């Protein structure tokens, strides 16, 4: 069965999805990676690209249609979608939300050394950017699909990544995934 994983920015969802590949043999579809590449091609950072998509949803429609098609193609297989909305477009999936408080999100973003990430002088600057980005995404998906990203009842499993390593999150996710699959 497919796993769709989403969550707060900087919560570790991409790291966890990559661990699912390494530890448990899943195939990974990183929708966020595709969006970041598209933003880079257009000379935009994530915040600018999100604002652009609010006024022109054509790329959202394209990427979300691809998630739907791939969800059907891989139905029943060990695939993990690392995506904001795959849970909505791949209904036959184990839907996971990785949560994190805003102070820790900002700390992680400000201290990130990943290539292509924006650089911030202060935690407050990172927090402001995260709030704007999150607000834009919430508004965008509400406008386009009438989907509420903040409604945790959409998910089969919600985990807070605050005091857990990515490995702990991955293992706890898998324990819940196995139980979920047995019920289906």
Q: What is the mean pLDDT of the chain?
A: 89
Average pLDDT over residues 1-15: 93
Residue range 78-102, pLDDT digits in tens: 999 999 899 999 999 999 999 999 9
Kindly report the pTM of this predicted structure: 0.84
Lowest mean pLDDT among 24-33, 75-84, 146-155, 159-168: 24-33
State the pLDDT confidence band at 161, using cuts at 50, 70 and 90. very high
- In whole angstroms, give the CA distance from residue 78 to residue 82: 13
State the pLDDT confidence band at 115, using cuts at 50, 70 and 90. very low
Q: Quick check: 70 and 133 in contact, CB under 8 A?
A: no
Average pLDDT over residues 153-167: 96
* Range 105-115 burial, b when 16+ CB lie within 10 A, else e: bbbbbbeeeee
Tokens of 16: 């966890």
- In whole angstroms, give the CA distance from residue 12 to residue 105: 10
- In whole angstroms, give the CA distance from residue 135 to residue 162: 21
State the pLDDT confidence band at 118, using cuts at 50, 70 and 90. low
- Helix and strand numbers, DSSP H then E, in the chain: 8, 5
Residue range 36-94, pLDDT digits in tens: 778 888 898 777 887 787 778 788 888 888 899 999 999 999 999 999 899 999 999 99
Determine the topology of domain 2-183 in CATH: Rossmann fold (3.40.50)
Q: How is residue 95 annotated by DSSP?
A: E
- In whole angstroms, give the CA distance from residue 138 to residue 178: 30
Q: Quick check: 54 and 135 in contact, CB under 8 A?
A: no
């Amino acid at each position: 069965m497919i796993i769709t994983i989403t969550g707060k920015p900087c919560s570790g969802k991409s790291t966890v999805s990559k661990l699912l590949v390494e530890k448990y043999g899943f195939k990974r579809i990183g929708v966020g990676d595709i969006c970041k590449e598209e933003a880079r091609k257009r000379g935009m950072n994530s915040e600018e690209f999100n604002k652009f998509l609010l006024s022109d949803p054509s790329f959202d429609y394209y990427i979300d249609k691809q998630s739907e098609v791939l969800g059907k193609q891989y139905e029943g297989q060990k695939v993990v979608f690392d995506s904001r909305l795959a849970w909505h477009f791949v209904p036959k999936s184990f839907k996971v939300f990785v949560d994190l408080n805003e102070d820790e999100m900002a700390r992680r973003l400000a201290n990130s050394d990943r290539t292509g990430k924006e650089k911030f002088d202060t935690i407050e600057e990172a927090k402001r950017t995260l709030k704007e980005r999150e607000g834009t995404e919430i508004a965008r998906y509400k406008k386009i699909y009438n989907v509420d990203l903040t409604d945790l009842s959409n998910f089969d499993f919600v985990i807070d990544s605050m005091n857990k390593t990515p490995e702990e999150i991955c293992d706890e996710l898998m324990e819940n995934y196995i139980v979920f699959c047995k019920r289906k």
